[in-house]
Amino acid sequence: MRPPTPLLVRWASGLELAGGLILQLAPFLAFASVPVLSLQVPVPGLFLHGGGVLVCGTLAVLLALLKRPWPGAQLVLAATSAGLLYWDVTLVTERTAYTLGRVQLSIMGLNSFLAKVGAEPVDLMPRGVEPADFLGPGIQVGALGIALLGIGALLEVLGYGRAGKRWASVLVACPRCSGCGQRVGFQMAFCPGCGRTQGGGRPCARCGAWTLEGHRFCPACGHGLDGEGRTSCRRGTPQDDPRTQEPDL
């Protein structure tokens, strides 16, 4: 009997998949928007370090689709993507203004000639532009993917931790029982060392269906359970079945 996947883990899988897909999309969007002769030229993230972000997103999607619980790896992928994204933000905000300034200095002779003939000078740096204005929408999209991936990984650890596994062991995909430390599998119903449930509940003694904490009756057969969610020794009798009882006159 396998316990059902915890609800938090199911939510976490969806968030990790969404985060990985968004990270795959982000490098194809503009990480930078460079002004050239009053035009905004977009620079896709693939021309910077978006290739690394794309690889991280692809690995995150594969882990989510294969249903391999490894939140530690997802956190590493999120942290790596965040580092690459921060690197690109630094390059765009610092190097773009510096490069445009150098080019502007190199065309001072051209601007002097244009001023003599009464023409408008070439201005590569518009007035009042801040370094943050050079950032493109791909940076924000990538940040969203990183946030979803990281939150999903943390929810996965929390979900398996509440189901009876040590949080640190879940991070490295080597789950251990929170009661005795015995190595257990993600889909094990009970710890082989101490018998502690690993799914946040217990199977019904009559039909074997999994019951959760707080259930008073089995949702599959209606068998009575005690207040702690454990199946009681009380067996159902035909007299307990309301369908066999005569109506009161």
pLDDT, tens only, 120-170: 666 666 666 677 778 889 999 999 999 999 999 999 988 888 878 888 888
A 10 A CB-CB count for 105 gives 8
CA dist 173 and 62 (Å) reads 16
pTM, to two decimals: 0.72
Cα separation of 89 and 224, whole Å? 60
The span from the CA of 10 to the CA of 17, in Å, is 11
Domain coordinates of the chain in residue numbers?
Answer: 7-162
Angle between the N-to-C axes of helices 71-90 and 7-25, in degrees from 0 to 180, rounded to the nearest 10: 30
What are the tens digits of pLDDT across the range 1-37?
566 677 788 899 999 999 999 999 999 999 888 776 6
Q: In angstroms, what CA-CA distances link 172 with 14, 45, 167, 168, 239? A: 20, 31, 9, 7, 52
- pLDDT band for position 234 (cuts 50, 70, 90): very low
CA 13-67-148 angle, 5° bins: 25
